[in-house]
Amino acid sequence: MSDTYKEIGDLLAAARREKQKTLEEAADITKIAARYLAAVEAGDPKPLPSKPYFLLFARSYAQYLGVNPAALEEIEKKGRDAEVEASAPEPAVTRKTDSSSGRGFLIFVAIIVIVAVTAVLFIRWRGGAKTNTVAEESPQQVAADEIPGDSVAVDSPLVIPASPYQSPGKLVLVLWPRRSVGVVLVRDGDTVLNRRLELGEQQRWEADYRFLLSADASAALNLTVNDQSTVPLTLLGPAIFGLEINQANYKQFLPPDSAALNRMAADSVARTAPPAGAPTREGTGNGH
């Protein structure tokens, strides 16, 4: 993948020099730090927060420079194909074993098993003999039916069943864009989304604990958590990098309880309404 990063960086660096732009000018428009843009041009993802950010920043940078997105996708495709070929398993090599050494090992294992079984039987025999000796030497036990009922003490320990663990349930995240937007989504430590979302597209994901969300334009993205709309993402800045939404903090991204406000408004209207059966202004006028 390092060759892919280098090829993408060379393409973007050449496009910037051709347009006679500086890294600082590009950073001011893309809202991506100049040091990160320099790392993208160098094809080095190490200075970035994580490797998925390289392609996210590269796409935003390419859009600013007017580079054809198809060129980046072609480079990424070649890199993925090369990784698949490199990770293909090698054919298994069948090794012949010496039959005589195999038989010797089996004989050794059989001897060990026989010795172990013999030792266990001997220990159990000795334990049974000692038990019989103690039983013969101990005084005769009194039968249970010869003991008065009032004098019988029964030891009955209280057993409390353990309560099963209650899982908090899944954390559900739904994304849909207002326009084209680059998104990186990490679910419980695994990157599940790393591309541009287009208008009309919708992505729904479930996590056991948390999501990490990054987007190159917060105004272009709508978001719901557990089927509830969040506050506008523009409140978090023009771009989002590594926003954590988890089981413990997701409610802070939700707006105030609109349902409670609606109930308060309905109670206020009910208190000011006339009682049932009372004449209205129109009815009073007709009566006279």
The DSSP line for 7-28 is: HHHHHHHHHHHHHT--HHHHHH
Residue 85 has a pLDDT of 74
Report yes or no: 181 and 221 within 8 Å, Cβ to Cβ. Answer: yes
Report yes or no: 219 and 233 within 8 Å, Cβ to Cβ. Answer: yes
> pLDDT digit string (tens) for 136-170?
554 444 444 444 544 444 454 554 555 554 557 89
Residue 274 has a pLDDT of 55
Torsion angles phi and psi, residue 82, rounded to 5: -65, -40
Report yes or no: 56 and 184 within 8 Å, Cβ to Cβ. Answer: yes
Residue 152 has a pLDDT of 44
Residue 95 has a pLDDT of 53
pTM metric for this prediction? 0.42
- Residuewise pLDDT in 10s, the chain (288 residues): 678 899 999 999 999 999 999 999 999 999 999 999 999 999 999 999 888 899 889 999 999 999 998 888 888 888 887 777 776 665 555 455 455 667 888 898 889 989 888 888 888 887 766 555 545 554 444 444 444 544 444 454 554 555 554 557 899 999 989 999 999 999 998 999 999 999 999 999 999 989 989 999 889 999 899 999 998 888 878 888 888 999 999 898 888 765 554 565 566 556 545 555 655 444 444 444
Residue 265 has a pLDDT of 52
Look at residues 52, 48, 56, 58 and name the one whose alpha carbon lies nearest to residue 6: 58
- In the block, tokens 């098993």 appear at 113
Residue 143 has a pLDDT of 45
Beta strand extents in the chain (DSSP E only): 171-177, 181-187, 190-197, 203-207, 210-215, 221-225, 228-229, 240-246
Residue 190's H or E segment, with its range, is: strand 190-197
